[in-house]
Each structure stands twice: as C-alpha cells, then as structure tokens.
Amino acid sequence: MALALLSPLRFALRLLRHFGWATLLTLVSLSVGAIGYHETASLGWLGSYLNASMILTGMGPVASLHTPAAKRFAMLYALYSGVFFVSVAAILVYPVMHRLLRKVHIEAYKAHGAATPRIET
C-alpha cells in the first residue's frame, strides 16, 4: 500500500468547502462592518456597506468620520480587516499547499522505496 492523493472530485469538494468558509466569513465581516458604520457614523446602509467593503479590501475609507465613536470603530475594524485578509488567504491557499506537500511526500517515499500505509487526508 502507498500514500495516495485525494481523487480529483474529493479535492474539488475540499476546495469548494474552503471557498464556502471564506465566503461566509467575508459576508459576516462585511455585515459587522456595515452595521458598525451605520450605528457609529450615522451612514445610510449603502454608504455603510461601501465603507466596510473598502476597509475590508484594504482600499481605505470613503466617508469622512466625525464622531469619536465612529473613529474608534474604524480603527478597530481596520485592524481586524488586516488580520482577516491574511486569515482568509490562508483558508483559500491551504488545500492547494496541502496537496502539493502531500505529493512531494509521496514522491519522496517512492524515491526511497519505502512501504507506507495508505492515508487519505
């Protein structure tokens, strides 16, 4: 028996699951940002979603903020957005990197002629 890669179908399903989690986290983060801007900066919903989207993508704020509460929220949301970006990138890249490293691992075992148990992850 040898180590094996996931079948293309199972790998595609894994990619889809990771994409789904990334999308869900993005929608939740965007909604939290929009609600925060709506409540603290008294922006309309469209303006709130626009501001949250621009901060979440790293482009910067659109509306000027006048209240201390809005400025504090914007600071916290911007800090959160930086960590969020790196986290979502990791969620999306993980299955591909895992498969690549698994393939290298399998090739290394084959090169050394070692018998290994079959493990699918």
Where along the chain do its domains lie? 8-112
Q: Which CATH architecture has domain 8-112?
A: Orthogonal Bundle (1.10)
Q: What is the pLDDT of residue 1?
A: 39
Q: How far apart are CA 25 and CA 66, in angstroms?
A: 29
Q: What is the pTM of this model?
A: 0.80
φ, ψ of residue 29 in degrees (nearest 5): -65, -40
Write out residues in the chain with pLDDT < 70, as ranges.
1-2, 114-121
At 107 the pLDDT is: 85
Task: Give exposure, 66-80, as e/b (b: 16+ Cβ within 10 Å).
Answer: eeeebeebbeebeee
**Residues present in the chain in total:** 121
Alpha carbons 110 and 121: distance in angstroms, whole number:
18
